[in-house]
Amino acid sequence: MKLSVGLGNPGKKYEFTRHNLGFLCVNRLANRYKIKLNKTQAKSRTGTGIIEGEEVMLARPQTFMNLSGQSVVLLKNKLRLAPGDIIVIHDDLDLPAGRIRVRCGGGSGGHNGIKSIIAEVGSPDFNRIRIGIGRPPAFRTSSGMSEDEVIDFVLSTFNSEEKKLIEPAIPLAANAAVSLITSGITATMNTYNANTEKSGRNGKENNDG
């Protein structure tokens, strides 16, 4: 059994914001593999199904982003999983918009959802799929941005130019999740990280059928 968790905030208000890319990717996986996210448990909306021959639970924590770890640790314990059986999909300010990166372990990178998961699970050694949302221009200047301005940014929606970069990144990140489930971390990193570096953005694109 694998657990694939998309991070975000519940409610229509946040549905298409930058911080909800994890939710959107899990929705994509659910639609592709006909998995209904119709069960409420462990502070999450979940669904269980088969992805390329492997049993997988998909989850969208309903705790709001900063407390995502509460949901993840409950699901981990319920399913008796090791951290390496967990895939977390989330937005990332430090990557250009539309670029994805796959990794296992490491710090939170300032992402409060990841910080919460590390604290609650007691280990950083879970798989992450990071989807770049870029930084606003003010963030790239010497003046920087306040914490409140960063929050406003991640809770805002994409403009039309950003959407052109983000829309293909969602199925690409979903493909990376499938690769993690079927092929493991090393093969997935070699495929997806290498290709995104070569392309400068999205790299390999698979069918979304």
**Burial (CB count within 10 angstroms: exposed 0-12, middle 13-18, buried 19+), residue 127:** buried
What confidence score (pLDDT) does residue 25 get? 98
What confidence score (pLDDT) does residue 67 get? 98
**Burial (CB count within 10 angstroms: exposed 0-12, middle 13-18, buried 19+), residue 108:** middle
Residue of 18, 19, 90, 128 marked catalytic: 19
Ramachandran class of 102: left when φ > 0, alpha when ψ lies in -120 to 50, beta otherwise: beta
pTM for the full model? Answer: 0.90
Query: Which stretches within 80-209 are classed as H helix?
Result: 112-121, 147-154, 160-183, 185-188, 194-199
* Angle ∠(204,205,208) on CA atoms, nearest 5: 150
Task: Take residue 2 and report the two structure tokens written for it.
Answer: 């694998």
Say whether 111 is catalytic.
no
CATH, range 2-199: 3.40.50.1470
Neighbours of 184 (CB within 10 A): 13
pLDDT at 208 over 60: no
Residue 187 phi/psi, 5-degree rounding, is: -60, -40
> Which residue, among 19, 81, 20, 21, has the nearest Cα to 56 in the 3D structure?
81
State pLDDT tens for residues 26-85: 999 999 999 999 999 999 999 999 999 999 999 999 999 999 999 999 999 999 999 999
Q: For residues 128 and 144, what is the distance between their CA atoms, to the nearest angstrom?
A: 27
